[in-house]
């Protein structure tokens, strides 16, 4: 078992990662009867895509001796209705301004990002708009 999710009431959940004991709290978003006080479940999906992208880029970067320390991601989630679902996730990857990357390194990093496990697990109907910003 990976995790345990407990309904806390008032449209809030607490998820516990069983191996580490770390927790994540979610709230329903304001536009869906919630408080919006923390990440919603769909926020976590969108954010998980960015986390996965940066993690696998880090793995490949370490293997290729490319320093991506300080790389950031800006995430924008778009919802649709009928049925209510995530229709698009936009992830803007910002590489550190004090580092330069060759065309080959950029190609490796971008391919890695587009083929991360979360990206490959999401519906093909969901728009994944990735952009990469270099110095």
Please identify every stretch of the chain with a pLDDT value under 70, giving residue numbers as ranges. none
CATH 3.30.450.20 fits 41-133, yes or no: no
* pLDDT value at residue 62: 98
Q: What is the predicted pLDDT for the residue at 22? A: 98
**pLDDT for the residue 111:** 98
Structural domain spans, the chain: 3-32, 41-133
Mean pLDDT of the chain: 97
DSSP letter at 122 equals S
pTM: 0.95
Cβ proximity of 4 and 18 under 8 Å: yes
Distance CA 52, CA 120 (A): 11
> What is the model's pLDDT at position 127?
98
What local confidence, expressed as pLDDT, does residue 43 receive?
A: 97
Q: Nearest CA to 84 among 49, 119, 40?
A: 40
pLDDT in tens, 87-112: 999 999 999 999 999 999 999 999 99
């Amino acid at each position: 078992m990976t995790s345990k999710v407990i309904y806390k009431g008032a449209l809030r959940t607490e998820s516990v990662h069983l191996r580490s004991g770390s927790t994540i709290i979610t709230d329903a978003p304001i536009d869906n009867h919630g408080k919006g006080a923390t990440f919603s479940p769909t926020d976590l999906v969108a954010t998980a895509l960015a986390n996965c992208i940066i993690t696998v880029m880090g793995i490949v970067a370490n293997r290729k001796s490319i320093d991506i320390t300080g790389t950031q991601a800006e995430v924008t989630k778009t919802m649709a209705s009928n049925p209510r679902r995530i229709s698009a996730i936009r992830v803007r990857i910002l590489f550190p301004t004090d580092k330069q990357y060759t065309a080959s390194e950029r190609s490796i990093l971008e391919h890695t990002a587009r083929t991360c496990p979360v990206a490959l697990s999401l519906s093909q109907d969901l728009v994944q708009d990735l952009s990469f910003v270099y110095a």
